[in-house]
Chain A
Amino acid sequence: MKSTDAPIADLGVITATSTPSIKITSIGAALGSLRLDVSEIATSWGAQAARTSATVRVCAPDEDSLTLAWLAGSQALLAAGYDPSSCSSEGALGLWWGTSRPPFAEGPSHSYLAAALSLPADAPGMLLSGSPHSGMDAFLTALDSIAAGTVSRALVVASDAPLPGTGTACERFTGSGAAAFLLEPAGDDLMADRADSLGQRAQTKTPSMPLVRWRAGASAPVLDRYRPEGQMMIADLYDQRLFREEILLPAVAAVGKALDTARQASEAKAGIDSWILPDPDGRLGRSAAKRLGARRALAESLFSTAGDTGAAACLLGLALVLGGAGDDIGDAKHITSEEGRITPESSDVEAIGTIAYGGGRASGIVVERPAVNVEQEPHSIPGAIGVRAAITQARKASYSEVLRSRDQLVAMSEPIPMGLPPGSAGFVRGTNEVLRCQGGQCAACGWVSIPPTIHPTCVNCGGTDLDIIALDRSGVVHTFVVNQTMPAPFTAPLPLVVIDLDSGSRIMVQGTADSAADLGIGQRTQLVLRRYALERGAPVYGFKACPETPIRQHPADHASQIPAPQVTGDDALKHESADTISGIAIQAVSNSSNEEIT
């Protein structure tokens, strides 16, 4: 008979399994570029201002789960040496994307992201959705695909931009963000790392990457936070105490204990050193940590800075910790559990567990990495610098700006339809060449005419033999304007920028709104994917210009850790300037549009 002490959803005994030896080759991260003070939400609804310095990170109007996924994914690929301007087939690289908010509820979400990441048309993978557990679903499914030999490399992207109900409690904790990991079989790295952990340091120092080691999961048919068909906003539909005591904490504890037990039973003979745990209300993460015998979880500051980023949350935490951007890492290093576990100081290997929760499911993985003294040698993994930049770069926004950005505050006016219907052939032609950032290079004179579908002949010489190429993503501003006067749904300020790309081509694209104030001729600039519009309900994506924010290659960031992409000649040269992706600009702009006239 069931004990009355047991949780309603009795999960029984959860057993972790060891994963195939898979290493994390590079990482990437992105957060919504707007930063909102949580206390402002409270006061806007008439509540007493919460005594909190917490903030949430929210998407700008031209950002969404897809653009954040692109930003994080691009960083991870670039850091690993994958050249986005190379059209060469990467062969067995697949894309696994988890988000509760794909840009199309049904539609080409995954193929849009794959195209924007310049993956070849035959790249396998899938979109996982349905709950905030989706990010972990993507990670675990990618592990399975590598284990099955379907792919030799997998890009996992977990991204989300949930839409909280206005005035609900969860609005104060809902953020947006993305994390990306490039995974591949560990191969010989595994052997070197295991030797290290046993104190038998290998003669030759092999790059020691984080390794995924164990996984565990549990599910129960409990109704917690959910979103019915046809609803855009999520709401707190559960009893908070019920959720805490009977659902989230028991599930996380069960999965965590399973993972801990598995590691104890391994040759490491030690439990999990530190945890990254779900924290959907700003308090649950710490409670879950205590249940697992840790004083606190890692990356707590992620939740108080960005909020709960849904499907991205726990993997974003993992990316930040691996990238050395969890500001509480130093503290966590010294946690000694009540059970007298081996602390990281006494081992060459640190075990980090991360558990995702959503939709009645909790799943966790354990990542082992070489323990280092963070004060002397920061954790180094390709992409770490971009990950650290993601959490610091944001622009403070007002609550009303956030509401407008989320389409929760809408002007009472009839939108003016414009452009082609998204279902038209012209749109289909245009979308592919825009997402893939393509031009047509003249075989006779080398000029690149952009974009290909409207250029059957070379702009420069009239030649008809044009090769489709992928464009550079960075260059210099040749000239620009800042449009302040447009009909809805356009919003001012809208820069339009003519850029001389580093490869010599010229292109004109929109600039990000935040870049408007400081635009100047000669400025270094880069292209980032943004949502240009919602056209008759369908998102329209394109690249926008924003100031180049060089993500300097970390000494450990070198491309030799994965097989080099098949680039030749000019493509290889282009890569030198490629490691500069960041979609975040921080200049505040205030400008009002005026009565227009032409």
Chain B
Amino acid sequence: MAWNRVAVVGGGLIHFGELFSSSYEQMARGALDAAMGSVDSGFEPHQIEAIVVATQRGSLWGQEGIGGNTIPSALGISGVPCTRVENACPSGADAFRIAAMIVASGVHDLVLVIGVEKMRDKSTEEGLLSRAAAGHPVYTRGETAPVLFAPFATRHMHEFGTTAEMLAAVAVKNHHNGTLDPYAHFQSEITTEQVLASPTVCQPLRLLDCCPQTDGAAAIILASQDRARSLTKNPVWVAGFGMGTDHPYLHEKSNFTSLPATVSAAKRAYEMAGVRPNEIDVAEVHDCFTITEILDIEDLGFYEKGKGGPAALEGETAISGRIPINPSGGLLAKGHPIGATGVAQLVECWWQLRGEAGDRQVEINNGYALQHNVGGRGSGVSVVNILTSRNDN
């Protein structure tokens, strides 16, 4: 493919959580500072040639809708081109994909990808959850976020014998990983018993099957190959990316055990990167709910359909397992500030490939890390990005 190589030369995030004392703008600048501080040769804001900002819509009162206007000013580099990407839960991953294409095209050599989301400026009821009706005026009523995934759990359990304990194993693992991640929203262990005893949010999903509402921001600096050489001796490369879509309403699904958007996004990313699922060393996948991670690891090709639950229960997806999934704690423990989520996952992949993930460092054998988001109504949008530490890719 005739495109220029693209490198990740810096990345960072702020401590995710309920950041009542921070504004949207303050969070953004915090993420930029973290990313700039990670660049081996140092970095100044004015070096940025263009910005792609990911903000879904969180709980703000309108200013998120003009992210392209707000962010350059907040970062102290007003005047720089800036485009806002809104693409449901994969907003951050898609912003990265688009920024990579900008660098690959040769139009810009240094592009900032920044994801920023304020989820807690409104009460929980008024925030994301209040959109229990969207799109069609009648057909989507009552469809809060858990409703978009819980029917898959019901059906996955019915068809494959997936159990509540298997779902709980995902939450227990990711909360454990969260204790090893200083940026995670939740930093405490939980037990299977606690998960199973937690209140039902949306049958069959319980409270601890669900990710929290989190404020956060994350940033990544992408560079062309030449610029990357001058900024770091240890670049990580964009090996491939892919995006897929599917119908937006749940009743349009042909089945409730797989997310077709993920399958097609992964296929495109694997083909572009020239890798197979078994060559991936570590994956940061979309675990907004426990069932989602089980669907993901099947749809991404790590496990056969129906085998994701037992794999989670057997510990195969732990940091030391066969395929480590969500060493950062995932959305379940690290949090899910929507626009920032995908960018933060890519920061984790970057750290893992550079061997900088500390206590949660996984073993890197092939030099590939995969990042994945899926979301939207009916999980109809998915993005997969694959990074590599291999200079021969």
Contacts and interface: CB of A to CB of B under 8 A. Distances in A.
Contact of A498 (B125, B201, B256): B256
Contact of B154 (A419, A479, A506): A479
B139 A598 contact: no
A533 B145 CA distance: 19
Contact of B202 (A434, A479, A482, A595): A482
A425 B141 CA distance: 18
B251 A496 contact: no
B179 to A, nearest CB: 19
Contacts, number: 151
B37 to A, nearest CB: 32
B135 interface: yes
Interface stretch (B69-77, B203-211, B306-314, B352-360): B203-211
B1 interface: no
B200 interface: yes
A540 B288 contact: no
Nearest to A489: B132
B251 A481 contact: no
A431 interface: yes
A485 interface: yes
Interface string A478-511: 1111111111101001101010000000111110
Interface in B136-185: 136-139, 141-147, 150-152, 154-155, 158
Contacts of A418: 130-133
A419 B144 contact: no
Given A481-B147, A486-B132, A490-B132, A420 B137 contact: yes
Contact of A485 (B136, B146, B158, B336): B146
B130 A508 contact: no
A292 B144 CA distance: 59
A138 interface: no
A416 interface: yes
B250 interface: yes
Contact of B144 (A459, A483, A506): A483
B139 to A, nearest CB: 7
Contacts of A426: 137
A399 interface: no
A113 B136 CA distance: 21
A454 B137 CA distance: 11
A525 to B, nearest CB: 14
A508 B250 contact: yes
B150 A416 contact: no
A450 B210 CA distance: 30
Contacts of A595: 199, 207
A124 interface: no
Contact of B137 (A419, A485, A521): A419
A506 B250 CA distance: 9
Contact of A597 (B126, B141, B210): B210
Contacts of B4: none
B247 interface: yes
Given A498-B256, A596-B124, A597-B207, A481 B150 contact: yes
Interface string A443-487: 000000111001000010000000000000000001111111111
Nearest to B252: A459
A591 interface: yes
B154 A480 contact: yes
B190 interface: no
A542 interface: yes
Given A478-B256, A479-B151, A484 B138 contact: no
B64 to A, nearest CB: 18
Contacts of A488: 125
B196 interface: no
Interface string A408-443: 000000001011101000110011001000000000
Given A430-B136, A487-B129, A419 B151 contact: no
Contact of B155 (A430, A479, A509): A479
Interface in A256-272: none
Contact of A416 (B125, B212, B252): B125
A541 B253 CA distance: 24
Contacts of A508: 139, 249-251
Nearest to A594: B199
Contact of B146 (A483, A510, A532): A483
Contact of A487 (B125, B143, B204, B253): B125
Given A430-B137, A484-B203, A598 B142 contact: no
Interface string A298-336: 000000000000000000000000000000000000000
B145 A416 contact: no
Contacts of B207: 594-597
A78 B250 CA distance: 30
Contact of A533 (B141, B210, B247): B141
A482 B158 contact: no
B128 interface: yes
A506 B131 CA distance: 24
Contacts of B388: none
Nearest to A430: B137
A486 B143 CA distance: 9
B256 A485 contact: no
Given A496-B151, A498-B250, A598-B145, A484 B201 contact: yes
B224 interface: no
B213 interface: yes
B152 to A, nearest CB: 8
Nearest to A493: B203
A597 B127 CA distance: 11
Q: Could you say which of A521, A597, A598 has the most chain B C-beta atoms within 10 Å of its C-beta?
A: A598
Contact of B213 (A416, A506, A510, A597): A597
Contacts of A506: 251-253
B142 A485 contact: no
Interface string B88-132: 000000000000000000000000000000000000111011111
Contact of B142 (A416, A494, A498, A592): A494
A594 B155 contact: no
A488 B130 CA distance: 9
A490 to B, nearest CB: 6
B288 to A, nearest CB: 7
Contacts of B129: 485-487, 596, 598
Nearest to B122: A416
A520 to B, nearest CB: 9
B118 to A, nearest CB: 15
A598 B130 CA distance: 11
A488 B203 CA distance: 19
A478 B152 CA distance: 10
B251 A507 contact: yes
Contacts of B146: 481, 483, 485, 598
B132 to A, nearest CB: 5
A564 to B, nearest CB: 32
A481 B141 contact: no
B50 to A, nearest CB: 32
B144 A598 contact: yes
With a 10 A CB-CB cut-off, give which of B138, B199, B200, B211 has the most chain A CB atoms. B138
A388 B135 CA distance: 40
11 contacts: A418-B132, A434-B139, A449-B252, A454-B135, A483-B203, A486-B132, A490-B141, A496-B143, A498-B250, A598-B129, A598-B211
Pick the 7 closest A-B CB pairs, nearest first: A594-B199, A508-B251, A481-B150, A482-B203, A487-B125, A430-B137, A419-B133
Given A479-B155, A510-B141, 11 more contacts: A418-B132, A418-B133, A420-B137, A431-B138, A479-B151, A480-B154, A487-B126, A498-B151, A597-B201, A598-B145, A598-B211
